[in-house]
Amino acid sequence: MLWPIADRTILQAISWLKNNFLIAWQKAFPNVSTDIQEWGGPICQSRLLTGELELAILIEPFDKSGIRYDPLCQDHMFAAMHISHPFACTKEPLPFEALAHEPIITVSFDNGLRRFFDHCCKLTKIQPPILMSSSYNVDFVNSMSENIGISTLTSAMAFCVTNSDVVIRRLILPIPGTIYLCTSARSGEIKAVRQFVSFCREYFRQNPVPVFEV
């Protein structure tokens, strides 16, 4: 069974339980061979629809026509900034629209967080300037020594911030940051796929993904 991780952001979001989850899955179904692959969300969805894959993990935005999708877990998006930034005066949740004119440090274009960020910008009708797109923005936040912009983070990324000169605020999003387990109409009829979907629902119910608390 081919089980792709849609992109690096989603892989990071569930990385804390990934190994335990896979061990539990293999113990429950030792005769099912699982091949985990990592691609960008659009490629993942395309291969799901063509039958090259049986399962995909996706985050908004994605075309829901022709596929089945089950909510797996949710995460927030956070804004990290230097303590000298005007927004750093409080740790209260920050409306997403407040980013409209702020220089943004975000992840690369092929990353799920970036696509979700761009989608939220579209929904809130804002176009903040992108100062930098990098897969290493957590490292950038940890070395931040002055106010040069705001970095967007997931919970998994926020847990890795060690810079005491950085303030993190949860963003009030226009839509929830839901991660979905997706199957095609064809793959949904395969017994091993149905077993995996059922197993995922129960496992994530008992082992929720940790969400960063400000």
In this predicted structure, which of 1-10, 122-131, 154-163 has the lowest mean pLDDT?
1-10
Among positive and negative, which fits the CA dihedral 199, 114, 145, 171? negative
Which pTM was predicted?
0.85
Average pLDDT over residues 111-135: 92
Please report the domains of the chain, with CATH numbers, ordered by start residue. Answer: 2-74+178-206 (3.40.190.10), 77-172 (3.40.190.290)
Query: How would you classify the pairing of strands 166-172 and 94-95?
Result: parallel
pLDDT band at 104 (very low <50, low <70, confident <90, very high): very high
Which of 85, 91, 107 lies closest to 156, judged by CA? 107
pLDDT at 53 over 70: yes
Question: ∠11-16-18 over CA atoms, to 5°?
Answer: 60
Provide CB contacts within 8 A for 209, sequence distance 6+: 13, 14, 16, 17, 73, 75, 155
pLDDT mean over 137-153? 93
**Residues 5-43 pLDDT 10s:** 444 444 444 454 567 787 888 888 888 777 777 777 788
pLDDT band at 161 (very low <50, low <70, confident <90, very high): very high
